[in-house]
Amino acid sequence: MNKYDVIVIGSGPGGYVSAIRCAQLGMKTAIVEKYTSLGGTCLNVGCIPSKALLDSSEHYYNASHTFKTHGIDLTGLKPNLTQMITRKNGVVKDNVDGINFLMKKNKIDVIIGVAGFENSTTVKIKKADGSETSIEGKNIIIATGSKPSVLKGAEPDKKRIITSTEALNLPDIPKHLIIIGGGVLGLELGSVYSRLGAKVTVIEFTDSLIGMMDKSLGKELEKSLKKIGFEFYFKHAVSSAVNNGKEVVVKAKDLKSEKEIEFVGDYCLLSVGRSPYTVGLDLNKAGITSDEKGRVVVNEKLETNVQGIYAIGDVVRGAMLAHKAEEEGVFVAEVIAGQKPHINYLLIPNVVYTWPEVAAVGFTEDELKSQGIKYKTGSFPFKASGRARASMDLDGFVKVYADATSDEILGVHMIGPRAADMIAEAVVAMEFRASAEDIARISHAHPTYTEVFKEACLAATGNRSIHS
């Protein structure tokens, strides 16, 4: 039986990053993946392919809606979904090839098969050909990620009632895409098909979009998405979704009027979150504890109740974000090596890759109020930015919350062009406990989108913004 210092189960962002860091620290490392393609959900059917389609659809939307204003005349323009998906698949392949290279470079043994615990130190692997093998590890890291959650009465058939996985490979552009859930995945994939000409209807149980973020962002995103054809039904509870062959009938109750409404489309995308995935792991054989939501229970070192077994990423508590999993993967590797790493979970940014993009880090206004933290705020709109006006990206704003006494930045919330990249400045600032005054006094290149962050900080320090 092969013996390792570390066995990593799962090759998503958390798993493969953790394996690499373990190898860098001199540990003999193996990674076990049930699919033939490394990279997990994020790389194969999540973050990367969805961004590829978002980018392609944004090019098409701009070509059909803004190029003429820019002085670019086109004739015979039409979307080619097959080519978009072909390009997306190429992007995925290149990234998978990159992960394979990194495994070889770092001398990590890659084992393809379904892993399950035999005991607290031994992992049995069932391979596709029916054979089995076992390996032993001094330390084991569970990084099995998550899967799309299912709504009772609207279970996906992967044909007309689909999850995000199937939405990445549709054979045609939907005429009417019904999305159950107003969260990140649904809005991103809805954006892809709305830009290509689909009617998009979002049915949401709560009263706003992206409920885990500052409410002001959800309201602004709603206004922006309506401009490209989205329609929203808030406070509606879906009771059923039925595939009738060429169409899907979705029934939902209006929670205000108690009336049932029927929606008919050619595809229904179920986007009601994700659930931790531990199927086949046989956690009980290792004595590992999980909670009522199926998450593996871990302590502050991300170690389970069984010494030497750790868990990271979507399979444990916290936000289900690829970069959170990566940070945890490095953290656990360094803990095993005897180092003393740290993660500030408050400063892990959250991003929605619609257009305009949405990004945030730190406390929301509701969180500040609930904790009794006294704060001041400043915001600045992109429509007052010279750079945004030049690029015709006028929707959105940056909002800053700062401590009322110390002026330390407590939260930054932005919706606008390139917010996904801009949020990094806020993360760095908050990591070093910068004040709003600090950012206000730093020179920002002109014209850039980041000037809007500076102006919001100026506004937070006493209504000092220059361009509003």
Where are the chain's structural domains?
A: 2-148+275-345, 161-272, 356-460
Write out 117-150 in H/E/C secondary structure.
ECCCCEEEEECCCCCEEEEEEEEEEECCCEEECC
The answer to whether 233 and 201 have CB atoms below 8 angstroms apart is yes
d(C-alpha 452, C-alpha 406), whole Å: 22
Please give the chain's pLDDT, 468 residues, in tens: 899 999 999 999 999 999 999 999 999 999 999 999 999 999 999 999 999 999 999 999 999 999 999 999 999 999 999 999 999 999 999 999 999 999 999 999 999 999 999 999 999 999 999 999 999 999 999 999 999 999 999 999 999 999 999 999 999 999 999 999 998 999 999 999 999 999 999 999 999 999 999 999 999 999 999 999 999 999 999 999 999 999 999 999 999 999 999 999 999 999 999 999 999 999 999 999 999 999 999 999 999 999 999 999 999 999 999 999 999 999 999 999 999 999 999 999 999 999 999 999 999 999 999 999 999 999 999 999 999 999 999 999 999 999 999 999 999 999 999 999 999 999 999 999 999 999 999 999 999 999 999 999 999 998 899 998
Q: Is 385 left (phi over 0), alpha (psi -120 to 50) or beta?
A: beta
Distances (CA, A) of 254 to 65, 160, 234: 34, 24, 8
Q: Tokens 């084992």 — which residue?
A: 111
> In one letter, which amino acid is 87?
R
Active site residues: 446
Looking at residue 1, its pLDDT comes to 84
3-class DSSP state for residue 246? Answer: coil
What pLDDT does 126 receive?
96
Q: Are 422 and 450 in contact (CB under 8 A)?
A: yes
Q: Which residues contact 104 (CB under 8 A, 6 or more apart)?
A: none
pLDDT for residue 463? 85
List all residues 6 or more positions away from 128 whose beta carbon is below 8 Å from its beta carbon: 36, 112, 113
Say which CATH class 356-460 falls into. Answer: alpha beta
pLDDT digits (tens, 9 = 90+) for 117-135: 999 999 999 999 999 999 9
Distance CA 289, CA 311 (A): 11
pLDDT attached to residue 115: 97
DSSP symbols for 155-185: ---SSSEE-HHHHTT-SS--SEEEEE--SHH
Q: What is the DSSP string of 20-66?
A: HHHHHTT--EEEEESSSSSSHHHHHHSHHHHHHHHHHHHHHHHHHHT
Spatial distance between the Cα atoms of 410 and 436, rounded to a whole number of angstroms: 9
Q: State how far the Cα of 437 lies from the Cα of 89, in Å rounded to an integer.
A: 46
Q: Which of 254, 269, 102 is nearest to 177 (CA)?
A: 269
Q: Domain 161-272 adopts which CATH fold?
A: FAD/NAD(P)-binding domain (3.50.50)
In this predicted structure, what is the pLDDT of residue 468? 82
C-alpha distances out from residue 64 to 60, 85, 88, 251, 418, Å? 6, 20, 21, 34, 21
Judge if 2-148+275-345 and 161-272 fold alike in CATH terms. Answer: yes
Cβ 123 vs Cβ 8: under 8 Å: no
User: What are the two backbone dihedrals, phi and then psi, of residue 418, each rounded to the nearest 5 degrees?
Assistant: 60, 30
Which token pair is 28?
């003999």
> What is the torsion angle, in degrees rounded to the nearest 10, for the CA atoms of residue 313, residue 318, residue 319 and residue 321?
-20
DSSP string, 263-307: EEESEEEE-S-EEE--TT--HHHHT--B-TTSPBP--TTSB-SST
The DSSP call for residue 454 is H
Provide the 3-class DSSP secondary structure of residue 192. Answer: helix
CATH 3.50.50.60 fits 2-148+275-345, yes or no: yes
Rounded Cα distance between 381 and 396, Å, is: 6
Cα separation, 130 vs 215, whole angstroms: 51
Q: Are 203 and 236 in contact (CB under 8 A)?
A: yes
| Other CB atoms within 10 Å distance of the CB of residue 332 | 28
Q: Give the model's pLDDT for residue 431.
A: 98
pLDDT for 407 equals 98
What are the beta bridge partners of residue 276? 146
Decide: 286 and 116 in contact? Cβ < 8 Å: no
3-state secondary structure of 252: strand
